[in-house]
């Protein structure tokens, strides 16, 4: 069975206290996740492409060791976690760029566990896992949902793909970071669940933005539309959180448009490989493409409102 659902056990931090976790990626999600892992009593070995972020983290936390290369991260680590931008970054970090030996896999001992918590292409995830398994190590894909707010509070929703054995090994670490953890299936199943999540998120952000734009064009305040829809069938977390950001024009990134666009594109690529036709998603992708073309890729994905309403990013 692969439909295991878990909630956070407050005693789980005892299971990892004194152990060592490798962490690669200190972006919007990785940094708050590092703080939660530190609070569990684990020792952290970290690496980030921008070394200033690693150094800053080491000044904030006592139990952090900054590594010089990805290969160094797994030295003495009980588990290694990745939270990177895309499949290309995962490939380079784990297996190393052509001609160098700094990839993480070069220093993994047989029986090691690697947990990819970023949103990575399903097809490439399966290929990475197969390649890693040849060296005797295990791969778990465990992408997350909930954004920076949930990362800071340790209440992420985590979708897991991997063997039962690997899931059990990963679980104590995942419970430090997440509140709802579901073992969806074998390798890649976690990423398929995340693709489904991102499809629904992307389409719903678009729907809310269109509804607000229509209301505004007809003289009704979007804030009143949002209030009126609460409790009905249109009520959602997107309407609550992203709807509020749209109304306040608060587009500081919690999750970037560029990342949302990458996730939608990967879902469409998976659909193509599976002979699925997803017309709504293909239309939605054009809106995210617009955000990138108009240099608004670094804004929060709630800023999709600007693409629909025809506004441009205001100069800072």
What pLDDT is recorded for position 316?
42
Per residue in 40-92, pLDDT tens? 999 999 999 999 999 999 999 999 999 999 999 999 899 999 999 999 999 99
Residues 304 and 180 in one domain: no
Cα–Cα distance for residue pair 46/57, rounded to 1 Å? 9
Residues 14 and 80 in one domain: yes
Range(s) of the domain holding residue 218: 193-308
Residues 158 and 246 in one domain: no
Residue where a domain stops, chosen among 186, 220, 235: 186
Per residue in 139-186, pLDDT tens? 999 999 998 989 999 999 999 999 999 999 999 999 999 999 999 999
Residues 179 and 231 in one domain: no
For residue 302, the domain's CATH number is: 1.10.1040.10
Residues 162 and 225 in one domain: no
If you write DSSP's letter for every residue of 117-136 in order, what string do you get?
A: -S---HHHHHHHHHHHHTTT
Identify whether the C-beta of residue 154 lies closer than 8 Å to the C-beta of residue 8: yes
Asked if the structure places residue 313 within a domain, the reply is: no
Identify whether the C-beta of residue 120 lies closer than 8 Å to the C-beta of residue 141: yes
Number of domains in the chain: 2
Cα–Cα distance for residue pair 159/264, rounded to 1 Å? 17
pTM of this structure: 0.89
Q: What is the pLDDT averaged over residues 7-36?
A: 86
Residues 140 and 39 in one domain: yes
Identify whether the C-beta of residue 174 lies closer than 8 Å to the C-beta of residue 181: yes
Give me the active site residues, please: 194
Reference 160, options 214, 94, 217, 113; nearest CA is: 113
Per residue in 50-62, pLDDT tens? 999 999 999 999 9
Residue 3 has pLDDT above 80, yes or no: no
Residues 178 and 275 in one domain: no
Residues 158 and 284 in one domain: no
């Amino acid at each position: 069975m692969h439909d295991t659902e878990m909630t956070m056990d407050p005693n789980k931090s005892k299971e990892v206290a004194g152990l060592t976790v490798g962490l690669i990626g200190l972006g919007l999600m990785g940094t708050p996740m590092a703080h939660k892992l530190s609070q569990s009593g684990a020792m952290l070995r970290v690496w980030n492409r921008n070394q200033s972020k690693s150094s800053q983290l080491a000044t904030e936390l006592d139990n952090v060791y900054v590594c010089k290369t990805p290969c160094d991260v797994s030295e003495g680590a009980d588990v290694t976690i990745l939270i990177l931008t895309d499949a290309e970054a995962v490939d380079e970090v784990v297996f190393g760029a052509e001609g160098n030996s700094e990839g993480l896999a070069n220093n993994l001992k047989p029986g090691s566990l690697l947990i990819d918590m970023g949103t990575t292409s399903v097809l490439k995830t399966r290929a990475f896992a197969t390649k890693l398994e040849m060296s005797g190590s295990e791969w778990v894909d465990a992408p997350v949902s909930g954004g920076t707010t949930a990362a800071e509070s340790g209440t992420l929703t985590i979708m897991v793909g991997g063997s039962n054995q690997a899931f059990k090994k990963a679980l104590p670490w995942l419970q430090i970071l997440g509140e709802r953890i579901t073992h969806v299936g074998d390798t890649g199943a976690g990423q398929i669940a995340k693709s489904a999540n991102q499809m629904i998120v992307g389409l719903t952000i678009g729907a809310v933005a269109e509804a607000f734009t229509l209301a505004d064009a007809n003289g009704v305040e979007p804030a009143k539309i949002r209030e009126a829809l609460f409790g009905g069938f249109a009520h959602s977390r997107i309407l609550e959180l992203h709807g509020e950001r749209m109304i306040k024009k608060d587009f500081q990134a919690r999750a970037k448009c560029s990342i949302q666009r990458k996730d939608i594109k990967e879902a469409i690529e998976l659909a193509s490989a599976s002979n699925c036709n997803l017309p709504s998603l293909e239309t939605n992708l054009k809106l995210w493409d617009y955000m990138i073309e108009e240099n608004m890729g670094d804004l929060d994905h709630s800023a999709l409102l600007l693409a629909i309403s025809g506004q441009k990013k205001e100069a800072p």
